[in-house]
Amino acid sequence: MEKTDKRLKSNFLFFKRLICSLVLLLAFLACSDAKAAINLITDEETEQYLAGVLRPIFKAAGIPFKRNNIHIVDDNSLNAFVGDGNNMFINTGTLIKAGSSNEIKGVLAHETGHIQGGHILRQKIKNQEMQQISLGSLILAGAVGAATGRADVGMAIALGSQSSAINNYLTYRIEEERSADEAAVNLLGKTKQSPQGMLTFMKRIQQQNRLSGVDETAYIRTHPVTGERVAFMQQAVSASPYPQKDKDEEQFRRVQAKLSAFLSEPSQTLQKYPLSDKSVPARYARAIAYFKQLKTAQALNEINSLIAQEPDNPHFKELKGQIYMETGKVKEAKAEFQKSLALMPNSALFQINLAQAVLESSPSQSELRTNVDILNKSLVQNPNSFAWLLLSRTYGELEDYAASNYAAAEHSLGIGAVDIAEKQAKQAESSATDSKLKLKINDLLTRIKEIKNNS
């Protein structure tokens, strides 16, 4: 009986270890996919800069470019990756820590190389193969362990199979990275840009990984840096006839300062951008730092000096509007948002800014009807759940409750509240009289039904 108990205990521990091994391997695959549980942020200026970088690279690669395919990930680590539908993701940490605009162009050219090479689909297939191999090895190991009572034998089979699978997987990833490097150098050449930034970024990744292996873990796992890759990039830099100086450097520095200031503690920002630094990026960063410290007068002094220097810069006026909005000066905020939108009339984010300010300023019926037009334009350019919420509020103020419920349902669906969306859509359906609105509601209910059937 005692022997049996020990064997049962041994087998129990064996299966427990197998389960842990499987969990770790699946976690590895999830990290390699790099698209789960991410938080996105939006900023017109940053997206505009990234669009300027990506548009010519995508054109050179023969890939259709869409502004809405650019996504900024709120993550301080160095990483960038691509997803289905030619979607490009770049971490705030990459933008803040990069040494130059040329580095960002190299990183995005590399990721574009993954799209051009069809690596996204291949990666999915490879991940599925890895999962099948790991599950198969666990089942085999479990059978051996149970039949022989030798947990150590079963564990050896499981770990041996998984180690081999992971090694094969990493070899495959290195091959993909080499292919993307070659594509990136070609794309940078076609757009008359130096690959120096790509080499510099790669060396930084390699060095920081050797020193700590902490902050850049995600990037290293999905973008293995080898001496061979570094040597290839050094040769590419030597062969390139194009200058390392980047025409978009100033725009990049402003974006970098802005993101750093919004995402860092004000004390860190003021240390990084001291008063002795009179450059535009530094003053921009200090305005944000003072704003976060609730030093409104100092923040406005900095931003006003920038507006005086560049009166047609819509991003400075947007920040001024944000300072007013978040300090309760809605009327002043609305005026600044109107100015920024006049300078950039097709900005979906600027349209949302103005619409929100209008709703908070006791709007007239005329202003509300204008708000409907502005928000609908915004939604055509960039479907956004917050815009749907503002549209629902606007229709509510206009006492158009059917349209208000429909917009609320679209908002609820956008944030994943499917059951609430269905109830709101049915409320809209019960009172809708406009034929166009009825069609929209029917389409929404069909989408909700499909989601519920597939869940």
Q: Which of 141, 166, 177, 140 is nearest to 156 (CA)?
A: 141
State the Cα–Cα distance between residues 166 and 209, nearest whole angstrom.
Answer: 20
pLDDT at 92: 97
State the Cα–Cα distance between residues 438 and 361, nearest whole angstrom.
Answer: 31
CB 427 within 8 A of CB 403: no
- The structure tokens 């009166």 sit at 311
**Most confident residue range from 28-32, 148-152, 231-235, 322-326:** 322-326
Buried b (16+ CB within 10 A) or exposed e, 123-132: beebbeebee
For every residue of 50-93, DSSP letters joined together read HHHHHHHHHHHHT----GGGEEEE--SS--EEEEGGGEEEEEHH
- The structure tokens 């800014």 sit at 353
pLDDT at 32: 44
Q: What is the token pair recorded at 177?
A: 């990275």
Provide φ and ψ at 213, rounded to 5°.
Answer: 70, 20
pLDDT in tens, 33-79: 444 468 999 999 999 999 999 999 999 999 999 999 999 999 998 88
Share of the chain above pLDDT 70, in %: 75
pLDDT-derived band at 285 (thresholds 50, 70, 90) equals: very high
Report, as an integer, the average pLDDT of 105-116: 93
pLDDT at 363: 96
pLDDT at 415: 93
pTM given for the model: 0.79
Statement: residue 150 has pLDDT above 90? no
Report, as an integer, the average pLDDT of 5-9: 46
* Secondary structure (3-state) at 40: strand
**Most confident residue range from 81-85, 211-215, 324-328:** 324-328
